[in-house]
Amino acid sequence: MGRPSYSLGYRGKFGNKIPKTTWSNIFHNRFYLGETWLKRGDVPIKGNHEPLVDEVIFAQVQQILAEHDKHRQRIRRHKYLLKGLVYSVDAGSACWAETHPRKKASYYRSREEVDGAHIFYNTKDVESQIPDVIGAITIDDWARQDLRKELARWFDAEANEDGELKRAETRLAKLERVEKNLQRLAIEEEISFEDFKEHRTRIEAEKARLKNTVDAIKQRQHLVKADFEIALQLANELDFLFGKGNFDERRLLCETVFKRIYVEDGKITEVELNSSFSLIATKAKSSGTVLSGGADGIRTP
C-alpha cells in the first residue's frame, strides 16, 4: 500500500496537507467496512451505507499499521543508561537523551546551545566508558575494612558533636531535676497540689517533645550509618555487579552511585558521586587508601 501523498492530489478541507493522525484515523475507522459506531454488546451494528472496502483489504491495512506501530514502540523503548546524569562541559548544561530513528543512533544532547547549535554525544561512546569509571571507584576488601573503622570513628564524633542532640539531652536532664524538686516541694507542702499538677503537666509535655526529638535524631543517625554500610558493600563490589548485571540493574547502580557525569568532547572527564559514595571516596583519599583505578576525576565535597 503506497503512502498517501500531497502531490497525488490528497488534500484537506482547505486544500492543505492531511496530517498523519487524520490518515491514521481513516485507516483504523471501521465505518468504511459498512459499520457504525453503535454496538450490540461487542458486535458493531451494520449501517445502511455501502462499504467502501472489503474485510480482507481492511485486515491487510491493519496488519501493516500494526507493524509500523511495533517499530515506533521499539524506538520509544530505547533505554539510556545515563539518562538524567550526563552534563555537557562543552555547553555548560545538562543533557537530554534522545533517539534519531532515521539515523538509527541515540544521543545525549545538551540543553543549551553553543554558537547556535546543540552538542551531541553518542550514547554508546559515552556509556562504553562507564566500566572504567566504575572500576576507579571500586574499593578492595582491605580498603573496605579500613573505611568501616574510619567511618565508625567519624560517625561517633559527629554524634557527640551534634548540637541539637546535646541541647535536647541537656534540657531533658534539667527537666528531670526540676520535676524531682517539684515533687519534694509538694510533699513538704511548700506549693499547693494544684500548682504541682499544673507545673508537672507542662514539664511532661516538654519532656515528651524532647524525647521525640532525641529519638528522631538517633534514628536518623542510625539510618545514615546503615546507608553507608550498604554503600561500603556496594563500593566493594561495584565492578562485579556492573559487569554481571542486566541493563535495569546497571541503570539502578548508576543512579545509586552517580549524581552527575561530566562529558567534554565525548569523554567523561569527571564524576560527582552521591553523598554516601562521595564520603567514602573522601575518606579513602584522606586515609591513604587507593581506589582500584585511581581517584582522579572524582568530585567530592
**pLDDT tens digits for range 116-137:** 999 999 999 999 999 999 988 8
pLDDT score, position 56:
79
Quick one: pLDDT band at residue 295, thresholds 50, 70, 90?
very low
**DSSP string across the chain:** -PPP-GGGT---TTS-PPPHHHHHHHHH-GGGGTEEEEEETTEEEE-SSPPSS-HHHHHHHHHHHHHHHHHHHHHHT---TTTTTEEETTTTEEEEEEEETTTTEEEEEEEEEETTEEEEEEHHHHHTTHHHHHHHT---HHHHHHHHHHHHHHHHHHHHT-HHHHHHHHHHHHHHHHHHHHHHHHHTTSS-HHHHHHHHHHHHHHHHHHHHHHHHHHHHHHHHHHHHHHHHHHHHHHHHHHHH--HHHHHHHHHHHEEEEEEETTEEEEEEE-HHHHHHHHHHHHTTPPPTT--TTEE--
pLDDT score, position 277:
83
Quick one: pLDDT band at residue 92, thresholds 50, 70, 90?
very high
275 or 226, which is more confident: 275
pLDDT score, position 131:
93
Comparing 8-17, 52-61, 88-97, which segment has the lowest mean pLDDT? 8-17
Q: What is the largest CA-CA distance in the chain?
A: 108
pLDDT, average across residues 283-297 = 47
pLDDT score, position 127:
95
pLDDT score, position 65:
75
Comparing 26-35, 121-130, 222-231, which segment has the lowest mean pLDDT? 222-231
Comparing 6-15, 42-51, 86-95, 178-187, which segment has the lowest mean pLDDT? 6-15
Comparing 6-20, 39-53, 65-79, 128-142, which segment has the lowest mean pLDDT? 65-79
- Give yes or no for residue 263 having a pLDDT over 60: yes
Quick one: pLDDT band at residue 80, thresholds 50, 70, 90?
very high
- Per CATH, which fold does 6-76 belong to? Hect, E3 ligase catalytic domain fold (3.90.1750)
Q: What percent of the chain is modeled with pLDDT above 70? A: 76
pLDDT score, position 288:
44
pLDDT score, position 26:
75
- Give yes or no for residue 78 having a pLDDT over 90: no
Comparing 72-81, 144-153, 182-191, which segment has the lowest mean pLDDT? 72-81
Q: Where are the domains of the chain?
A: 6-76, 86-128, 132-299
